[in-house]
């Protein structure tokens, strides 16, 4: 019981590590929340601090979800790994170390999938870049990828093995992604959403 509580707390704290804020302040002496979209995630880091910083933040955010999801496996907890992964994603969205204003759940959700179902993670990455190639919008690509992950989890449960927790948690993560992109959805409708120029 105590181990389970410690795992939950650790997962939230892991998710709360503000990678974008740390990279911005330590590497560039700026608060990334005061630049670009003001978001702590990888996308704003790419736009504000460049490719190297963006990659560091994105990878760090992914690994937060991966490590948190692995905790129940490492410490023989009875809690389902995906539930702990969700806790980390919540920490990423509402980090205690950054005034509860965090990222948009995409990279850390990907990290959860990387630990639990690497093939689904790979599918998500491929889907994201294909969507990005055609739409040129990171936000739209993230939401499309979230939907594809839900569809994948359902098909996986029908064809490979029944995994209801996977369907449920991937659906929850997809809801998180859409909820955190509310402003982006409005801009997409108004055709004012920024588009990338490098792809």
A 10 A CB-CB count for 104 gives 28
Q: Supply the Cα-derived Rg of the chain in whole angstroms.
A: 16
Burial class (CB in 10 A: 0-12, 13-18, 19+), 110: buried
Q: Report the pLDDT value the prediction gives residue 74, as an integer from 0 to 100.
A: 95
Q: Report the pLDDT value the prediction gives residue 37, as an integer from 0 to 100.
A: 81
Residues shown for the chain: 199
Question: pLDDT truncated to tens, each residue of the chain (199 aa)?
Answer: 899 999 999 999 999 999 999 999 999 999 898 888 888 888 889 888 989 999 999 999 999 999 999 999 999 899 999 999 999 999 999 999 999 999 999 999 999 999 999 999 999 999 999 999 999 999 999 999 999 999 999 999 999 999 999 999 999 999 999 999 999 999 999 999 999 887 7
Q: Report the pLDDT value the prediction gives residue 122, as an integer from 0 to 100.
A: 98
Burial class (CB in 10 A: 0-12, 13-18, 19+), 28: middle
Burial class (CB in 10 A: 0-12, 13-18, 19+), 199: exposed
Domain boundaries, the chain: 2-189
Q: Report the pLDDT value the prediction gives residue 19, as an integer from 0 to 100.
A: 94
Q: Report the pLDDT value the prediction gives residue 147, as an integer from 0 to 100.
A: 98
Q: Report the pLDDT value the prediction gives residue 22, as an integer from 0 to 100.
A: 94
Q: Report the pLDDT value the prediction gives residue 124, as an integer from 0 to 100.
A: 98
């Amino acid at each position: 019981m105590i181990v389970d509580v410690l795992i939950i707390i650790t997962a939230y704290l892991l998710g709360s590590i503000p990678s974008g804020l740390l990279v911005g302040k330590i590497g560039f002496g700026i608060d990334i929340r005061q630049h670009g979209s003001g978001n702590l995630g990888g996308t704003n880091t790419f736009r504000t601090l460049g490719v190297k910083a963006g990659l560091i933040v994105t990878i760090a955010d992914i690994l937060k979800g991966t490590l948190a999801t692995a905790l129940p496996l490492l410490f023989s907890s009875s809690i389902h790994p995906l539930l702990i992964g969700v806790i980390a994603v919540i920490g990423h969205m509402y980090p205690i170390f950054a005034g509860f204003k965090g990222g948009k759940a995409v990279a850390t959700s990907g990290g959860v999938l990387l630990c639990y179902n690497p093939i689904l993670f790979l599918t998500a990455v491929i889907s994201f870049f294909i969507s990005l190639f055609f739409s040129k919008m990171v936000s739209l690509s993230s939401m499309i990828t979230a939907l594809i992950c839900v569809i994948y989890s359902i098909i996986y449960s029908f064809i490979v093995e029944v995994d209801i927790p996977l369907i449920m948690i991937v659906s929850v993560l997809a809801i998180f992604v859409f909820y955190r992109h509310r402003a982006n959805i409005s801009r997409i409708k108004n055709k004012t959403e920024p588009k990338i120029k490098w792809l």
